Amino acid sequence: MKTLLIANRGEIACRIIRSAKALGLATVAVHSDADAKALHVALADRAVPIGPSKPAESYLKIGEILDAARSSGADAVHPGYGFLAENEGFARAVAEAGLTWVGPTPESIEAMGDKARARSLAEAAGVPVLPGSRRFAEGELEGIEAAGDTVGYPLLVKASAGGGGIGMRVVDAPADLRKVADSTQGMAARSFGDGAVFLERYVRNARHVEVQVFGFGDGRAIHLFERECSVQRRFQKIVEESPSPGISAATRARMTTAAVALAAAVRYSGAGTMEFVVDADSEAFFFLEMNTRIQVEHPVTEAVTGLDLVALQLRLAAGEDLSLRQEDIRQQGHAIECRLYAENPAKMFLPQPGTLARLALPEGMAGIRVDTGVRQGDTVTPFYDPMIAKIIAHGPDRAAAVDRMLAALERVEVEGLVANAPFLARVIGHPAFRAGRTTTSFVDTYKAALIG
């Protein structure tokens, strides 16, 4: 493996390029018309255009990306997160083209990428799951009311192929179920090309905790501890931390053991994340889904373990024997990540595209890491996720990490568009956050104080 093509854009493409170069790999960026002058294009050794600005006409075009790999001489492909990262067809096409796929096998992606099937595999592996229903294909809702009664209310209607908080709707009463299921099927079909949905019990006072796993493809797997991702808006994470402030050592041990067991059962290869919902009152935990890719929030795990997850992905794909053992993995200190977005919290967190007339990020501060895919003068376009940067604070304990994050957010300057930095500072500085009392309803509960 000598030349790596990154089939992505923005912050994650820049992040992958950094690790690839440290390993001595040449890098190839792909870009849409909107991204012709983007930072990931500037950082790569070579860049290849792949089409117009809309993702469906560029970053989601498997043929264009494979042509870019051939024309650039790339011999490996890293998908990053989003776009085609969890598309088993893309993974299979990369392998059939004679290229190295940096990720799990197509079979693992297919098995774990479908949420309903992943639930079945989790149950078979002895991992607790929430009460749920069978899949309902697009246009097929016969029997959904009976299924809802069996699952119990409140419940979630979830897109089987969903991700990133898209395709999830809460239903409180049976009378609303069919209408919500029908609209969710339509949304899922448009977003993922698969309109199937299923039902799952909804835990109101819940924490969202996930376990970073790493598998070796032969039935062996390890964990790199957990991340708390409860602070969300629209089911999408905006603040993550490790370790979780809301689970006991005993719960952590049971959860990580369950995550490793499931990864081993599917002979998982590479970095992946098992997501769990945790009842904040009882600490009972239930499997939600597996993300068969690198996560947006992986830097908090890197901060507390000292490991480079992207480098591990690349080394495993290259055939290196990593010889990582569970007893070699240690947690050191506490890390918190905030996602800096071009969005307006006061207007339902709607994206705010525009030009970054001024952008100052807290790079160089002690205990602070900044991952970004933009520079001052760049444009946040309406075509893609409006992330500006990820800010990661690491300290010897949670209180120190909180203080460092607040100091870092104070250094953020964004002009030319609206960003959520003041909102993030209010979240981190809120007494409930400082006390570790975070649930998935945190933003709604304290909305008045957070939005101002």
Residue 272's DSSP bridge partners are 213
- Cβ 111 vs Cβ 290: under 8 Å: no
- Average pLDDT taken over every residue of the chain: 95
Predicted confidence (pLDDT) at residue 188 exceeds the cutoff of 80: yes
Select from 436, 12, 370 the least CA-distant residue to 230. 436
Predicted confidence (pLDDT) at residue 452 exceeds the cutoff of 80: no
- CATH superfamily of the 206-451 domain: ATP-grasp fold, B domain (3.30.470.20)
- Cβ 235 vs Cβ 295: under 8 Å: no
Predicted confidence (pLDDT) at residue 160 exceeds the cutoff of 90: no
- Rounded average pLDDT over 117-142: 91
**CATH, domain range 3-102:** 3.40.50.20
- CA dihedral 394→337→27→64, nearest 10 degrees, is 170
Predicted confidence (pLDDT) at residue 116 exceeds the cutoff of 80: no
Q: Taking the domains of the chain in order of start, what are their residue ranges?
A: 3-102, 131-201, 206-451
Q: Which of 233, 293, 339, 369 is catalytic?
A: 293
Q: What pLDDT does residue 163 have? A: 67
The answer to whether 434 is a known catalytic residue is: no
Predicted confidence (pLDDT) at residue 282 exceeds the cutoff of 70: yes
CA 149 to mean position of chain CA atoms: 32
Residues 355-384 have pLDDT tens digits of 999 999 999 999 999 999 999 999 999 999
- Rounded average pLDDT over 217-244: 96
Q: What pLDDT does residue 362 have? A: 98
Does the model's pTM come out above 0.85? Answer: yes
Token pair listed for 272? 């992946």
- Rounded average pLDDT over 404-412: 98
- Rounded average pLDDT over 248-269: 96
DSSP strands (E only) in 366-450: 368-372, 379-380, 387-395, 413-415
Residues 8-45 have pLDDT tens digits of 999 999 999 999 999 999 999 999 999 999 999 999 99
Percent of the chain with pLDDT over 90: 90
- Rounded average pLDDT over 86-110: 96
Predicted confidence (pLDDT) at residue 191 exceeds the cutoff of 90: no
Q: What pLDDT does residue 193 have? A: 84
With bands split at pLDDT 50, 70 and 90, how would you rate the model's confidence at 114? confident
- Rounded average pLDDT over 328-336: 97
Contacts of 162 (CB under 8 A, 6+ apart): 115, 168, 188, 191, 192
- Cβ 228 vs Cβ 208: under 8 Å: yes
Predicted confidence (pLDDT) at residue 326 exceeds the cutoff of 70: yes
Predicted confidence (pLDDT) at residue 164 exceeds the cutoff of 80: no
Residues 45-76 have pLDDT tens digits of 999 999 999 999 999 999 999 999 999 999 99
Q: What pLDDT does residue 422 have? A: 98
- Rounded average pLDDT over 231-239: 93
- Rounded average pLDDT over 136-150: 95
The domain defined by 131-201 folds into Dna Ligase; domain 1 (3.30.1490)
Structure-model confidence comparison of residues 49 and 188, the more confident one: 49
Predicted confidence (pLDDT) at residue 165 exceeds the cutoff of 80: no
Predicted confidence (pLDDT) at residue 192 exceeds the cutoff of 90: no
Select from 127, 109, 124, 131 the least CA-distant residue to 198. 131
